[in-house]
Structure formats: C-alpha cells, structure tokens
Structure 1
Amino acid sequence: MRSMGGDQVEEAVAGAVALLRTATDRDWEAVRAGRLEWSCRSTAEHVAGDLIAYAGRLAGRATEACVPSGIALEEDTGNEDVLQVIETAGALLAATLRTTPREVRAFHPYPFRSADREGFAAMGITEVLAHTHDIAQGLGLAYEPPAGLCADVLARIFPHIRPHADPWRTLLWATGRGDLPGRPAVTGWHWCSNLVIEAARLTLQGVTPAAAGDLAAGGDGGFVWVDGGPFQGTRDAAGMLLKAYGAGVHRPEWGVFALVRRADGRAVGGIGFHGAPDEDGRVEIGYDLAEAARGHGYATEGLRALSAWALARDEVTSVCATTEPGNTASQAVIARAGFRRVAVAGTDPGTGQHAYELRG
C-alpha cells in the first residue's frame, strides 16, 4: 500500500513553495486569499502554524487536548522568509512522522478525538494543498497538485466522500472551495480520521478506504499481521467497504476494524458492521481471526468492545450476529459476549443460520 508520511508531506510542501516563490515580489498582505477572509500572508502563516502544531502533538504524545503552540512572524518578515518557515515546519512534521511508531495516536478534536501518524500526515497535506490553492487564487497563479497525492488524502481522511475521476477537484469541492458536477455545494466540511476503540488486550482500529483497497487486493492494509493473517473474511469485508466508499454510502464508524494486539502491535483479525443501523436500530456484526490467533479469547474481547460501543449510540437498540449451524466455535464466542439466540423469520432452524442478539 502506498504510504502516507514524511515523503508525501515534503512533496506537498515542495510543490507549494515552488509555485509561491514565483510571486514573492507581490504584496501578500494586501491580497485576500481566495474565498477566505485572511490575507495571503496570514494564510501562509497559518499553514506553517498547523504543520508545527501537528508535529508537536505527535512528538509530545498529546492525548487529552491540543498542545498550545503557534507561530507569530515579525511584521517585517519577507515573503521568502515566510516560505522558509513553511519549509522548516514541513520538515519538522516529516521528521516526526518518520520517527513516530505506527500505534501512536495523538489528540485531534474531530471527530473521534485522536489520529495516528497517517492521519496527521494527511491533515498536514490537506492544509498545504487547500491553502496554497487559496493563496494562488488570490495572487492569480495556476495551481494543481499531483492527482495521486489528492487521492491518497481523500482515501484516508475523507472516507465519507464519494470518489471522483478528478481527485483534486474532489478535494476542492470537499473543502468548500469548488464545484463538482452533480453534487451540491459544500458549505460546512470536516475530515475524518479513523476511529479506534480500546479494549483490554486489543485496539479495534478503523480500516480506511486506502487500507481496504490494499486488503481487498491481497495486501496487508498497512497492518503488521500475525502468521497467516489476514483471514479471507477480513479481505471480503474490506472489499465490501470499498464498494460502499465508491458508492458514496460508506460511514466509517459503521465499517471494518482490525483487531490489533497491544502487546506487539500485530493484527490478529478483523471485525466490523455489515452497515449502519437500520430503521429499527438493528446493526449486525461479523468477525474473524487468523488461525494463529485463535483460542486466546481475542474474538470475544473484540465482540464485547464493539458491541458496547454500538449500544452506547442513541440510534442503536440491538446488535445482531449470525453463524452457520456447524460453527460451534463462533457460537461459543457469541455466547461468551452475552448474546442470546433468537428466531429470525425465514430461516430454517435445521439448516439456516443461527441468529443472536444483544440489546442495550
């Protein structure tokens, strides 16, 4: 899977700075940055501040709140100096990303109050791309970053946005900066890092569309797996997630999660929802484990954690699961997690699937 890290941050910064250097002789303070209320100078300062802030949160392992930080340039700082500050801030974020372990998460307020290194890389890149567009628009410059970089950002922190043949135009539309044929104008927007749910020995880490595409194609999805992982069920679920993303109906909190062992950071299986809750508040869960990880209670622990998370949502009244009649191991997992067997209309008790339910 194509990574999202320091190299991509440096790529975004280099492209932005190269373009803006062609206009350092202009008065950036007197020109408004695109549709923003800020001047081009203030917008450039904002980009540097965000890159520094993201590096600081990851390096400091902030988990409860943003680390107070900022950049205040002196009034006589020239445009070239501003660009050097952006380059320096980008280099600091890139270096932090390269030295931050994969499992580390730091605070970000929206939507799930944390992000991993790939999330912060994607956020930093989005700040650079979007605000370079704003400054370029104000200065009358033509700007278009690499399509692959835009697609990578969209597949990681805009999982709720249906992809389009033109990733750059899609990113501009998703951030309220442009139009996209057949889609309404965006007046309020947000990005969305993957959700992580904590359990005793595991973390349930949300699978992004980028990771799902790699898993469905036979890759590792960016996870380090135990021997024999991932199991085919996880790859199949990733394929379903990818189809939902392509159709624009993927809701990341009701998607697929990798079960990652805290002790060594290795993924042992997959778990997730078959979709968002229905009109009656029912949501169905499926799961599997790599064979090497079976017999240790991981499936039960993961099922309990995900069920508890779901039942804490206002829109959920019950969590459901089904198994084949002969799958006694899965039935034992479901029973240990507190589910009870229920009758489902249209199933044959002798040959149909066994249905289970857990209510809040």
Structure 2
Amino acid sequence: MANRSHILMDFKDMDTVTPDEIHNRLKAHRYTLRNSSLAPEENAPLTQAEKDMYDQHKLPGNPHPLMLRLPAGIPFILGILLFLVLMPIFLFQPKVNIVTEKAPWLLTGIAVAIKIAWGTLETDVRMIEPFYILSLRHASPKVLTLDYTAMAFGWMPIRALMNGHFLVALVGLGSVLAEVLTICCTSFANVSGIDFTKNPPPARQRRGKNAINAGEETFRSFWISFGLAVSILFFLCFVATSVYSRRRHAFLPRQPSTIASILAFIHQSKMLYDFVGTEGMDNDSMVTRLVGIGKSYGLGWFTGRDGEMHCGVDEEEL
C-alpha cells in the first residue's frame, strides 16, 4: 500500500535505526490512506502538541520481543514446571491442601497467569514468523502476504499446520490448551484430591454428613481433569523449550511491530516494482500475481534502487 507513495522517501537511512528514532524523524509528518495507499497529508499541518503527543510512549529498543528472550523464557518455563510440581502437592497432601481450601482461587489464578504469559509468547511468535522465514533466504512469495497476527484464535494453528510451520502451529495449539488448563484448574477449586486417591466410594458415602469433599466433581471427572492438566503442562513446557531453542536469537535490527518499522525495511527494495497496481487486490489475488512472477525473497543486506546497501526485505539474490 506504499509501493508508489512518496512517503517512502521519508524513511531514508532508517534501515537499522531504533523505533524511537523512527518516531522522532516522522512525528512532524501527517499521513493518510488514499486510494488504498498511504500518502502524505499536506493540507492539515500538525500542531506542536500533536507532534509531541506520543513522545512519552517509549517503544522497545531491543530488536527481539521480550517474551522470546531467555531472561523471560527461563522464568516462564521454570514457573510452569513449578506449578506442575505444586499442583499435586496442593491437591493430595493433607497439610498443604488447607491452602486451596482457604484460597480456592489459587490454582485457577496460577493457570490464568500461565495462559496470559503464553498468549504473549504466541503474539510474539505470530509477529516475527514471516520475517524469520525471510531471514532463511529464498522464501516463497506467499510469505510476503503471510500474517498470522490477524488470524483467529483456534484457526491459526490449523492454518500454520497447513503451511508447514509446525512450531507456530504448536504454539497456537498451546493457547487453546491453556484455556483448557484454566477450566481444569477451576474444577479443583472446592475439591480435596485426597478423597479421590482410593477406589470410587460407595453411593452411601457420596451424600449425607459423611460425604467426601468432591464439590461437583465425580471420581472419573476429577482424574480426567487432573490428567489433562498435567499433560497440558508437560506439553507447554515442551513447546516453550522448542520456541526458545529456535527463536531466541535476534535477527532483525528492530521489532516489526509498527507500520513505520516495516516500511523502513522495504523503502529501497527493488521488489516494490512487483507490487505496482496491487493496491486494490485481495490477499489471494496478490499471491497469485507474485507466484506468477516467479521470484523468491529474503531478509538481509541488499543493493537498493538508489545503488546503496540497505538492510531489509528484497527479492533474491540479495
């Protein structure tokens, strides 16, 4: 949407600068969406207050998302493992079970915290995956239109599996299972696991003053929930370990989290000629056109249209 726009000249020498530097250089400009393309808006100059409006919002300076770095990843994995150990202790140890009786929300709260952290991990994996594929060089034209960030929850892992992006699919599946984990832990709120360590009690012990502390759980449903919770935690640990073994290294000069950050990667790309006339196309039509051209694409250093070296995305050979 910016292949024929004059705004690309505003990104000169911004290939490897930080997001804050991009903001400082562009904050005096106003842009608009016109005819499906970004264009400069010259009829409404910015006031000084508008220029300084977002100065207090500092963008991340690290080129790699926090949740994909080991300082966040190691505590996250250790936290999952710790919960995996503590959950049966809280449920089956008489002296510790009193904790969940006094605070029945505890296990659910920990599960929700894991779910939120996993959602952050998934968001970061979704964002960087197309750029990671491009960094491997000679990527298919389909990668240029790949956008996992906009895919619906639940559909994303299916789509990633169809695309052959198995790690992304596992992370997306982990988000679905994290929801199931929360439901399982909620069922433990008013339950004493000690009462389920023996064979199913006879019917006369399931009611009356001698009834077991089972809440709304049956013998079978408790063990199914417990087995699911343990299995999901093992799965999350496995997938998280795989993510940090494969995606923990920074390979971009900055995070591709804004329109400006991405445009700075392509402002001198020769591949922009392939996008002339695509402003009104939908995703499928654009993919068909790019596949028909027959080029491959990559992320790295390349000679731009101005004859100088740039860091970003362009057609092969870089």
- The answer to which structure, 1 or 2, has the higher relative contact order (CA under 8 A, 6+ apart) is 2
TM-score, with structure 1 as normaliser:
0.25
Looking at secondary structure, tell me which structure has more helix per residue: 2
Looking at secondary structure, tell me which structure has more strand per residue: 1
TM-score, with structure 2 as normaliser:
0.28
Task: Tell which structure's C-alpha radius of gyration is larger.
Answer: 2
